[in-house]
Amino acid sequence: MKIFVDRKNELEELRALSQSKEPAMALLYGRRRVGKTYLLGRIWENPFYFLAADTTPETNRKDLLSELAQWAGVEILPEDYPTWRAVFRLMTRTNQGDQLVFILDEFQYLLGHKDDVISQLTAIWDREMTDSSMLLVLCGSEVATMEALQAGDSPLFGRLSWSSMLRPFDYFDSSRMLPWLGLREAMYFYGVLGGLPRYLSAVKRDEGFRESLCRILLSTRGEVHVQLQNLIAGEKGIRNTAEYDAVLRAVAAGRRELSEIASCAGLQNRAYVVRRILEVMENLDIIHRERNYGAGPKSPWRYRIGDNALLFWHRFIEPNRSRLERNMIDSVWETSIEPFLDTYMGPVFENTVRRTLLRFNAELELPVVSTCSRWEGTDRNRRSIELDIVGEFDSGEMFTGEVKWSSSPVNPDVHFQLKRNLEDLAASGQSWGNRALHGWFVYFSAAGFSEYMMRLAEERTRIVLVSLEDMFPDGGNPNRNR
């Protein structure tokens, strides 16, 4: 049986919508490969499903009619339905039983032509749908276009009963795609493939980490390799892919602030273009941005890659392209990837634990987290200081902490060093340093904690230790091999 992970809310809400006696229109969208079609295929027994193609409106209309004829078991002559209005009217008439669900997938392909699908749809919807209980689901992968459909100036505004953007899985749900793996191994996979279900579903049960990655990602014919190569070009709303690529490369190379990114991408005098590109990619969860903890609203944003698959691609695949093209997969793995993998995982793991704090605070017996970021800068002696996590709970109390992906247990030095850093920062004008010294300390370690560290945490109530196992509160997966 194929696994079905997460998406519980979407599934329940859409099902409820189809069971109501009212006509309803729903919008489901999200990046390519995020699992939209898979989700829609899991909710209803026998919906009408049409997958639009990137072709002319006439061809799409004819294809839809022929699928509708097959589904309803009736004869339909395309020439009788020459407009979308006529097609939608026919759909409402086919609606005789309970729970009729119509799904139009890749809906963006029906838009933007002369014959305005949306206005024809709304005309029929308003006039002829009153006594029907049909659910119409409009699904699409062109995020900006689909978002525009629910904006205030769209004719669909106010007519949509439900809308949701599907997002990639976090580390926890990603690991549920690979339930046969130990936690550390599952975390490596998440670190390399990110949270797009399609990439994770390419991993086979009987393969090891290296074997899987060589097959699906390092091989230039590999499923994930091919998809990543076309990722930017495949986002339909994006036109100038070269500029997107250059910006992505700059961020992947460690440029953090807008001006650095612009100049590294060769777009020095066009910061507004770079800002726009970053915004589009942020909307797709490809880029994340954050500010130093406590920084004012005018201080610069810091950008990073938010999709691990792309990060890995730019760090390891792109620079080894020519060897990979010549099929030297083993040598690339052994000399250019494996020795650096744990260094790569450090920051990836650090970003992952933020999600733990937000999603599993109750399981960790912590208050609700209201903000969580990091801090980097220098103290008054120009010593550089980095705090992996700094944030606040709802109660207003602060927490700080360190995150270690190392393979040896963390000992109390980490705590004493962090306190010294906070004292230094407090003395250097970062007034929150003192508050943090009286707040909580949360330490994450992929390799557990030394006995001394555990004793320290037992003695002091506000030191919380989180191991890799704690980051995976069971999750309905009791058989996982820890």
Query: Of 386, 407, 388, 401, whose CA–CA distance to 343 is shortest?
Result: 407
Stretch that binds Mg ion, among 37-45, 109-117, 314-322, 418-426 (CB under 5 A): 37-45
Q: Which CB, 51 or 273, lies closer to ligand ATP?
A: 51
Residues in the chain: 482
Query: How many CA atoms, within 13 angstroms, populate the side-chain half-sphere of residue 417?
Result: 12
Burial class of residue 467 (count of CB atoms within 10 Å of its CB; 0-12, 13-18, 19+): middle
Where b means 16+ CB within 10 Å and e means fewer, 136-161 reads bbbbbbbbebbbebbeeeebbeebbe
Q: Which does 5 bind (CB under 5 to 8 A by kind): ligand ATP, Mg ion, none?
A: ligand ATP
Q: Which does 71 bind (CB under 5 to 8 A by kind): ligand ATP, Mg ion, none?
A: none
Q: Collapsing DSSP states into helix, strand and coil, what is residue 391? A: strand
Query: Of 164, 163, 192, whose CA–CA distance to 178 is shortest?
Result: 192
* 37 binds Mg ion, rule: CB under 5 A: yes
Shortest reach from residue 205's CB to ligand ATP, in Å: 14
How many angstroms separate the CA atoms of 322 and 241, rounded?
22
Shortest reach from residue 276's CB to ligand ATP, in Å: 23
> CB of 389 within 8 A of CB of 403?
yes
Neighbours of 350 (CB within 10 A): 18
Q: Which does 215 bind (CB under 5 to 8 A by kind): Mg ion, ligand ATP, none?
A: none
Shortest reach from residue 7's CB to ligand ATP, in Å: 5
Stretch that binds Mg ion, among 33-41, 64-72, 109-117, 359-367 (CB under 5 A): 33-41
Q: Which does 203 bind (CB under 5 to 8 A by kind): Mg ion, ligand ATP, none?
A: none
Q: Which CB, 29 or 399, lies closer to Mg ion?
A: 29
Shortest reach from residue 38's CB to ligand ATP, in Å: 3
* Helix-strand-coil split of the chain, %, nearest 5: 45, 15, 40
User: Which parts of this chain interact with ligand ATP (CB under 6 A)?
Assistant: 3-7, 30, 32-38, 141, 177, 197-198, 201
Locate 188 and state its tokens: 């490596």
Shortest reach from residue 140's CB to ligand ATP, in Å: 8
Task: Give, for 466, the enclosing helix (H) or strand (E).
Answer: strand 463-467
Shortest reach from residue 40's CB to ligand ATP, in Å: 8
Q: Which does 201 bind (CB under 5 to 8 A by kind): Mg ion, ligand ATP, none?
A: ligand ATP
Residue nearest ligand ATP (C-beta atom): 35
Q: Which CB, 197 or 294, lies closer to Mg ion?
A: 197
How many angstroms separate the CA atoms of 444 and 349, rounded?
9
Shortest reach from residue 202's CB to ligand ATP, in Å: 8
Q: Which CB, 166 or 453, lies closer to Mg ion?
A: 166
Q: β-strand 384-393 against 398-404: which pairing, if any?
A: antiparallel
Q: Which CB, 32 or 435, lies closer to ligand ATP?
A: 32
Say how many residues touch Mg ion, by CB under 5 A: 1
Q: Which positions touch Mg ion (CB under 5 A)?
A: 37
